[in-house]
Chains A and B, each alone.
Chain A
Amino acid sequence: MKPAPFVHHAPTSVAEAVEVLRSVGHDAKVLAGGQSLIPILSMRLASPGHLVDINAVAGLDTVQVSEDGVRVGALVRHAQLARDEAAYAALPLLRQALVHVAHPAIRNRGTAVGSIAHADAAGELPAVLTLTAGVVEAVGPAGVRDIPAGEFFVGPLETALADDELAVAVRFGRFPAGTRTGFAELARRSGDYALAGVAVAITLQDKAVRSATASFVSVTDVPDVLDLTTAVGPDPAAPDLDAVADAVRAHVTPDGDIHATADYRRMLVAELTRRLVTEVLSR
């Protein structure tokens, strides 16, 4: 099928985009990479009267690395962020996760911020934003506000953004020195949405595990952080993998669908986490 008719707006500044959203936001969608929105329009799952296409908005296509984090503008494509060496040095987890997002052709067009605004429970980047205690920068008629990841994801495909707000950037947090990260997932075919996935961050200090945290893909309604410090235990050479697997199984709330049952996903994500913890600690 084809998308229903809509009015195409192509603002060139954030102020202009927000002004359009203020007047038609109740019947509008922001169009970023379109890699999730255009299929939805073509399948007529949504038929907004207006699209606010932000691709011509100036100043949204930069990645900025600072002491506090990695700030990613709303027009930074997945592929651009994955290639960014400064972002990789500051937060390797970004590239570790981005290689699992769809296929190269989708990554060339889809945006990191768009996948966070889309808030699919099967998306990799919402889990990464959450694990790094990141923030979404939103601009609306009332001005700018920061929305912490923990408040941003309200439910599957549901966020705290208002109809008339534009996410201009996200800021991923950085981990303390001595932190190692990893990402693992299983998809039926390379590039498909994962049946289950996990991001892990383990901080070592004086050769002991100080902190271990994880967040998940496709097995929780909204991404959240599971503290695995106690389960992993202090010795990086002998993590308690059974305790890790138990903690993960108890935490996740997967649904079953045609691709996999809930039980299988629960088993799978526990096993993925075991292997990932082992791999991260043995580097």
Chain B
Amino acid sequence: MTHPLATEQLHVVTVSVNGVRRTATVPARRLLSDFLRHDLALTGTHVGCEHGVCGACTVLVDGAPMRSCLMFAVQAQAHEVTTVEGLGTIEAMGPVQQAFTECHGLQCGFCTPGFVTTITAYLEESPDPSADEAREAISGNLCRCTGYQNIVKSVLRAAELRRDRLAAGWERSNCAVVNEGGAGEPS
């Protein structure tokens, strides 16, 4: 009998990631998280539990946070995926990234990509959260070392930075551009 892996069907999968169309040939069972990390070498997206609980793998799909470990890459075709790499660079950090560095919102950084994507999308809907709302917004993400106090502070600081930047006419974060149907390049 042939081994099932020998006959496993491969799919040419093209996904728009951070505004760039990326293609790889993968089996249907390739999780979106592994597609990003292994096939596209975008290792910013982290994988903790691989069953939806920890939130480390959270990416934005058409602007909405989703677990990349609970989607197959074949399902992401025709969708716009934003990873932490798409939310800023070391030279030009997004407001959430900036807030995490200012407020000591990370220690080892393993959980951070999932927090940054989750919070970025959250602030689009709720630009001025209270501390309690911030806590609720991050309740689906686990951090095992920093502690949540500083992460809550980071959410509030990110909201502030984001409002300041918008008021000052700064570019909006990449995901905001995607939300508005743009090409994914910051305006």
Where the two chains meet, the residues of A that have a C-beta atom closer than 8 Å to any C-beta of B are 1-8, 10, 34-35, 38-39, 41-43, 51, 53, 55, 79, 102-106, 108-109, 189-191
Q: Are B11 and A102 in contact (CB under 8 A)?
A: no
Q: In the complex, which residues 43-68 of chain B have their Cβ closer than 8 Å to any Cβ of chain A?
A: 50-52, 55, 58, 61, 64-67
With A38-B71, A108-B64 given, can you name 9 additional A-B contacts, CB distance below 8 Å? Answer: A5-B27, A8-B9, A34-B71, A35-B67, A39-B51, A104-B118, A104-B137, A105-B65, A109-B70
Q: Is B75 in contact with chain A by the CB < 8 A criterion? A: yes
* B90 CB–A CB distance under 8 Å: no
B148 smallest CB distance to A (angstroms) = 11
State the CA gap A114–B139 with chains docked (Å): 23
User: Which of B8-57 touch A at CB < 8 Å?
Assistant: 8-9, 11, 27-29, 31, 34, 50-52, 55
| Interface flag for B5 (CB, 8 Å) | yes
CA distance A3 to B70 in the complex (A): 11
- Contact at A103–B139, with CB atoms within 8 Å? yes
A41, A43, A106: the one contacting B140 at CB < 8 Å is: A106
CB atoms of A7 and B28 under 8 A apart: yes
What 0/1 readout, one digit per residue, does chain B (109-143) give for beta carbons within 8 Å of chain A? Answer: 00000000010001000000000000011011000
CB < 8 Å: which of A41, A105, A190 contacts B58?
Answer: A105
The CA-CA distance from A34 to B67 in the complex, in Å, is 10
What is the interface of chain B mostly: helix, strand, loop, or mixed?
mixed
Are A7 and B9 touching (Cβ within 8 A)?
yes
A35 touches B28 (CB 8 A): no
Q: Do the beta carbons of A103 and B66 come within 8 Å of each other?
A: no
B99 at the interface (CB under 8 A from A): no
- Asked whether, in the complex, the Cβ of B58 is within 8 Å of the Cβ of A55, the reply is no
Chain B residue contacts of A51, Cβ below 8 A: 28
Q: Is A105 a contact of B55 with CB atoms below 8 Å?
A: yes
> What is the chain A residue whose CB lies nearest that of B55?
A105
B118 close to A5 (CB less than 8 A): no
Q: Is B69 an interface residue (CB 8 A)?
A: yes
Contact B140 A104, beta carbon cutoff 8 Å: yes
User: How distant is A24 from chain B, measured CB to nearest CB, in Å?
Assistant: 14
Q: Do A8 and B65 touch (CB < 8 A)?
A: no
Q: How far is the CB of B181 from chain A (nearest CB, A)?
A: 18
Are A2 and B29 within 8 A (Cβ)?
yes
A8 to B50, CA, bound (A): 20
Chain A's closest residue to B11 (CB) is: A8
Cα A190 to Cα B70 with chains together (Å): 20
CA distance A262 to B34 in the complex (A): 40
Contact of A8 among B34, B64, B74, B139 (CB under 8 A): B74
Residues of B within 8 A of A41 (CB): 29
Query: How far apart sit A61 and B138, CA to CA, in the bound complex (Å)?
Result: 28
Q: How far is the CA of A108 from the CA of B62 in the complex (A)?
A: 11
Partner of A105 from the list B11, B27, B29, B118 (CB cut-off 8 Å) is: B118
**Can you list the 5 inter-chain pairs with the closest CB atoms, starting with the nearest?**
A103-B140, A8-B28, A39-B51, A190-B139, A105-B65
Task: Please state if B51 and A43 are interface contacts (CB–CB under 8 Å).
Answer: yes
User: Does B4 touch A at the CB level, under 8 Å?
Assistant: yes
CA distance A1 to B50 in the complex (A): 8
B52 near A39 (CB under 8 angstroms)?
Answer: yes
In the bound complex, do residue A108 and residue B52 qualify as a contact, i.e. CB atoms below 8 Å apart?
no
- Bound-complex Cα distance A109 to B51 (A): 14
Question: Which B residues touch A103, using CB under 8 A?
Answer: 55, 139-140
Partner of B67, one of A3, A10, A109, A189: A109
Chain B contacts for A8, CB-based, 8 A:
9, 11, 28, 72, 74
A10 to B55, CA, bound (A): 27
Write the chain B residue with the least CB distance to A103. Answer: B140
- Separation of A17 and B52 alpha carbons in the complex (Å): 27
**Closest Cβ of chain A: how far from B144's Cβ, in Å?**
14
22 contacts between A and B (CB under 8 A): A5-B8, A7-B28, A8-B74, A34-B75, A38-B69, A38-B72, A42-B69, A53-B75, A79-B64, A103-B139, A103-B140, A104-B65, A104-B140, A105-B67, A105-B118, A105-B140, A106-B67, A106-B70, A106-B140, A108-B66, A109-B66, A109-B71
